[in-house]
Structure 1
């Protein structure tokens, strides 16, 4: 059991969104034992714990550990359980299985796109229970909660990915979805943006999503179109969730492509209108570039495209597609085809759209980082401190308490995480202490693998796992988090 720890004289920003206040926090084992004004923790409580380790947090913020609601860390928590890219940001829980992409229930030695976004080595779990066991055996430094990926279900059960699932295939997918929910999955994710799932019809999606609904799950979706067809794509996602009886989370909401810049003035009112009749949330990352597999249909000759990796031409990682195409003497789409399979950062958003989404009451923060990219998008290492530095401290678009709420309490509530995301007695002791004057991202597109500044200490389930001075402490106290825990 972790020793008792007393954090003293910090600014308590508890994750609820209410105003911060000076106080103390006592951790006992893996739980928060008390949160009080300075010096007001019951002496009897302190005596019963022995003498706790006392840490002066004067001038620092004490907050719930950040929850990264949109990750592709499914294999990373097994391959690299120290999880420094996330732990060093103050993240204590990651939600995996997003965009329809999950390790379970696919078993293969040669994963194709988009499953290859998760790496190539860990596709050996035919069930969510097997994956959960693997997480607990790996003992990662962060907690792991999981969605079941619709595309992964398709790739296991469909004879032809160019078609909608047959009744028998829908039944097989639904059975795997039930197994996942029994194993503690949070719900279903889909990525019908990708060609491997684009043919899915409403009958197929509802057949699988309804299983998650009957078990108290959620539905997170990378919608069919984030370009010109964004409005009907959002309506389709809302219809699927409504027919299934599920809360909806729109993944990494954006208006992509120059022709769509400014259209958050349309999409956000639509989501507000839909939210009057059903539960809807969305996640967002604080950058104008996204990152995914390399696709020639996303090459428009206007936006910048940075190559993050290429199997046939690994030497091109870190270079811009326009420069590569010029060097090869071919059009950019042709160069993209020659670089495939690979990945890229697409500078396809505009900052005012990002600001509108980040400040919207329905939005949570997710990094959407790809840990297996050779040169990953800097959001993998910097997304959460960037929100605090850029959108709170520098631009003043968010209050501190509001920013923390979008990273903690709101996220826990949307994804049914139970006793996490808020600093209160009895909750699990996932805690971050940061310096509000210094916290900022350092990772850049040119040098993306850099530690953020200002994250002073991180506890996962009551175990101090990161300090600014020591970096990783060597402790790995994370676990697989079942729905409601």
Structure 2
């Protein structure tokens, strides 16, 4: 054997109780689970007193949108959480297919595109390019609807029309043939907003026919969340497509009471055998691009047009007035600035402090931050209910995800100020889920491993069973926790002792092993 893990308490990912046993690994796969007292191995890991689980599967990851996969492919902040596989291409944006290279600008609302070299157009070329990196973990990808749409309609807010839908369908079909796992859609964002059922249905039908995944960032997570969920469920009912509602939350105190009806809608869908799941991250603050707080009319035309409106006195005054009285008015004071494009002095500061220093309202201070950073600002907003989060955690259809990206400590000297979920979502979920909320360990591990893997279509990952890929995390259940905080996100978690990726030891108690064993995973069939 290459590796023998002995004396560990094994949670195999199947939502069954833990048992003390050994795991034998050979040629990158699980060779056996049982007692192997007389077997020799190249490496023997004594896991006495530790839990042994499948490597965590992050079904909503933005390492592509934040461009960290191109700049830091080791993805250390993910690996150190125990994540061994992440799904990219979420929330409507992917790095391929690109019918022209400048479409990489579609992700600049999240990441700095300077210095990024794009030498691909087709989805297969993109996956080949990623395969050339020293990947710390495994990556798979969806196709972003907005990426398809912008290829033909750019900033247009018009309906796509039959001719453009056919072009988008051809691009999607090719990408699915070349290894994409499905389609993501984000009508909350500017370039997804115009798309209605006529545009989506042909694309979603194609994904369903190929047994792919349809992942959705809801159109509205606040007062109109029920309408937004019904929009998704209508597509599921008509196509039967496997569906993931990304980072489900009910945003804002005035809407928190809707959580019960949200769950009722999802439960009703499950009773009808509709393949609907959702994911959550274990924090009470969301992380969004700032422009989403501006009136829709102010966003139209794209970033440069919006900035011109913020610089024109009459339109600026109208924007501020609508923000002061709009759906986010109760949340403006909770905002902390995250990643900024240009002026790092704003990063990590509360908007209340900035507004006080400038002698202006919260809304006007946000406008000032937006202009100072050329429209590229991400923010933290305290919009999530603890009670709702706990209920979503325990729900039968929920998974755990980061909705974050892979970093290392070199990013701490940049303008990036990421959400702590990029460094600690999974350890924090285990710490509060099992130790604080008394959820069964086996249930939590299943939500992080076999269940999301199966939903994505990863047939040989997510379980500690013979024949499965040897993605393994070994951790201390008493100490596992996140140390990343909103004031200082650049801290790795504690309690993770070993991480194995494709049968190679990537992390040990001394730190990174220097082995980059991650792979690009392509959808089969």
Q: Do both share a fold (TM > 0.5)? A: yes
Query: What is the alpha-carbon distance in structure 2 between the residues aligned to residue 192 and residue 92 of structure 1?
Result: 29
SS of 2:109's equivalent in the other structure is: helix
Aligned partner of 1:32 in structure 2 is 30
Could you say which residue in structure 2 is the equivalent of 1:116?
109
Cross-structure match for 1:179:
174
- Structure-2 residue corresponding to 1:15: 13
Indicate yes or no: 2:76 matched with 1:79.
no
Tell me the CA shift for residue 113 of structure 1. Answer: 5.8
Alignment of 1:266-345 (within 5 A): 266-277=261-272, 278-295=274-291, 296-297=293-294, 299-302=328-331, 303-340=333-370, 341=375, 342-345=377-380
* Residue pairs, 1:111-190, within 5 angstroms: 111-112=104-105, 115-120=108-113, 121=116, 123-190=118-185
SS, match of residue 9 in structure 1: strand
1:54 maps to 44
**Partner SS state of residue 419, structure 1:** coil
Is residue 384 from structure 1 mapped to residue 414 from structure 2 by the alignment?
A: no
Give the secondary-structure state (helix, strand or coil) at the position aligned to 2:142. strand
Deviation at 1:233, TM superposition (A): 0.5
Q: Could you say which residue in structure 2 is the equivalent of 1:361? A: 396
Q: Distance in 2 between matches of 1:198 and 1:110?
A: 18
Whether the aligned pair in 1 keeps the contact of 2:252 and 2:330 (CA below 8 Å) is: no
- SS of aligned partner of 1:204: helix
Could you list the per-position Cα deviations for residues 192-237 of structure 1 after superposition, in whole angstroms to 9, with x for gaps in the alignment?
Answer: 1112110101011112222222211010100111010101100101
Instruction: Give ranges in structure 1 of 5+ residues lacking alignment.
Output: none
Going by fraction, where is helix more abundant, 1 or 2? 2
Q: Secondary structure at the match of 2:284?
A: coil
Whether the 8 Å contact between 1:113 and 1:293 is mirrored in structure 2 is no
Helix, strand or coil at the partner of 1:92: strand
How many residues in Structure 1 have an aligned counterpart in Structure 2? 473
- Equivalent residue, structure 2, for 1:477: 517
CA contact (8 A) 1:90 1:432 kept: yes
Q: Distance in 2 between matches of 1:115 and 1:276?
A: 40
Contact 2:95 2:104 in 1 (8 A): no
Counterpart among 62, 82, 88 of residue 90 in structure 1: 82
2: CA distance, partners of 1:122 / 1:273: 46
Call closer, same or farther: CA 1:124–1:328 in 2, change over 3 Å. farther
Equivalent position of 1:432 in the other structure:
473
Looking at structure 2, the residues matched to 108 and 294 of structure 1 have their Cα atoms a distance apart, in angstroms, of 26
> Which range moves more in the overlay, 75-84 or 220-229?
75-84
- On the 8 A contact 1:311/1:339 being kept in 2, the answer is no
- Give the 3 Å change call, closer, same or farther, for CA 403–419 of structure 1 in structure 2: same
Relative to structure 1, the CA distance from residue 111 to residue 299 in structure 2 (aligned partners, 3 Å threshold; closer, same or farther) is: farther
Please, which moves more after superposition, 294-303 or 343-352?
294-303
How far apart are the structure 1 equivalents of 2:236 and 2:459? 22
Q: Distance in 2 between matches of 1:200 and 1:97?
A: 18
Pairwise CA distance, 1:262? 3.3
**How far apart are 1:109 and its partner, in Å?**
4.8
Where in structure 2 are the equivalents of 1:412-423 lying within 5 Å? 412-423=453-464
Summarize the Cα distance change of 1:376–1:4 in structure 2 as closer, same or farther, 3 Å threshold. Answer: same
- Worse-superposed segment, 111-120 or 311-320: 111-120
Alignment partner of 1:245 is 2:235: no
Partner of 1:239: helix, strand, or coil? helix
Distance across 2 between alignment mates of 1:307 and 1:456: 33
2:59 is aligned with 1:69:
yes
Distance of 1:61 and 1:177 partners within structure 2? 41
Q: CA deviation at 1:327?
A: 1.5
Q: TM-score, normalised by structure 2?
A: 0.87
Task: Verify: 1:265 aligned to 2:260, yes or no.
Answer: yes
TM (normalized to structure 1)? 0.93
RMSD: 1.9
Q: Secondary structure at the match of 2:481?
A: coil
Q: Deviations over 1:242-264 (max 9, x none)?
A: 32331111111100011112322
